[in-house]
Amino acid sequence: MKLRGLYAITDSQLLAGKFLSYVEAALEGGVTLLQYRDKSSDDARRLREAQALRELCERYKTRLIINDDAELAARLNVGVHLGQTDGPLTPARALLGRQAIIGSTCHAQLELAEQAAREGASYVAFGRFFNSSTKPGAPTCSLELLDQARRTLHLPICAIGGITLENAEPLVAHGVDLLAVVHGLFGAESTAEVTRRARAFNELLSV
């Protein structure tokens, strides 16, 4: 499977009261990967929401990724995205099998991406590139880093951090395959606008 396109990431607070309707609106516009990101400790709700997302993703032929929880990903037979504090990728790969999509947060460090590639990552994520309300304290990445990564890595490259339709174009020009977006997609006034934005992000990547 070619990992290229919009990578939509959920945010429980931003999507409160409109969670499934906004996610479905994004899927309608075309989403390559959908990440369920919920940092709460309410396991029952997380399972319920993740199951609902899996059903939606199956309908739209989108791959679901669970943030930071390989156990939940294994339970639902979907992919996982691991941060640097979540330990090595190898146990997750063993748990989820060869076919599962496993992504790795590499911040602004090429060495972390090279290590993730050796450990069996399906894609690597660099960021943040712009001011991000989701991760305000994260170090910033440069376009030069993307150029280096494109030369040395043979994996899809994901960019994350404050990405909007207005600032995404240079990232694509410097070799990004996946645009990971939270507020730039879901911070819209209506479901119709979410769908429009999703289509527009995909158009940027279709060249």
pLDDT digits (tens, 9 = 90+) for 175-206: 999 999 999 999 999 999 999 999 999 999 99
DSSP 172: H
| CATH code linked to domain 5-189 | 3.20.20.70
* Amino acid letter, 91: P
pLDDT of residue 139: 67
Per-residue pLDDT band for 1 (boundaries 50, 70, 90) equals low
Does 196 belong to an annotated binding site? no
Is 122:156 a contact under the CB 8 Å cutoff? yes
Residue 24 phi/psi, 5-degree rounding, is -65, -35
Residue 42 labelled as part of a binding site = no
* Helix count and strand count (H, E) for the chain: 9, 8
What does the pLDDT read at residue 88?
85
ω into 128 cis (within 30 of 0): yes
Q: Is 86 annotated as a binding residue?
A: yes
Is it the case that residue 207 has pLDDT exceeding 90?
Answer: no
Residue 160 has a pLDDT of: 96
- Residue 38 marked in a binding site: yes
* 206 belongs to an annotated ligand binding site: no
Q: What is the pLDDT of residue 134?
A: 67
**Which stretches does DSSP call E strand in the chain?**
5-9, 33-36, 63-67, 79-82, 102-105, 123-127, 157-160, 178-181
**Annotated binding-site residue? 39:** yes
Q: How confident is the model over 18-73, as pLDDT tens digits?
A: 999 999 999 999 999 999 999 889 999 999 999 999 999 999 999 999 999 999 99
**pLDDT for position 138:** 64
pTM: 0.96
User: Is 67 part of any known ligand binding site?
Assistant: yes
Question: Is 122 annotated to bind ligand?
Answer: no
> Is 37 labelled a binding residue?
yes
User: 162 labelled as ligand-binding?
Assistant: yes
Angle CA(179)–CA(70)–CA(156) in degrees, nearest 5? 30
Q: Both tokens of residue 148?
A: 């280096």
- pLDDT for 140 equals 87
pLDDT at 91: 95
Residue 35, annotated ligand binder? yes
Closest by CA to 108, choosing from 131, 125, 86, is 125
Query: Quick one: which of 4, 2, 36, 48 has its CA closest to 186?
Result: 36
7 annotated ligand-binding residue:
no
E runs forming strands in 15-167: 33-36, 63-67, 79-82, 102-105, 123-127, 157-160
Q: Is 124 helix (H, G, I), strand (E, B) or coil?
A: strand
Are 191 and 179 contacting, i.e. CB atoms less than 8 angstroms apart?
no
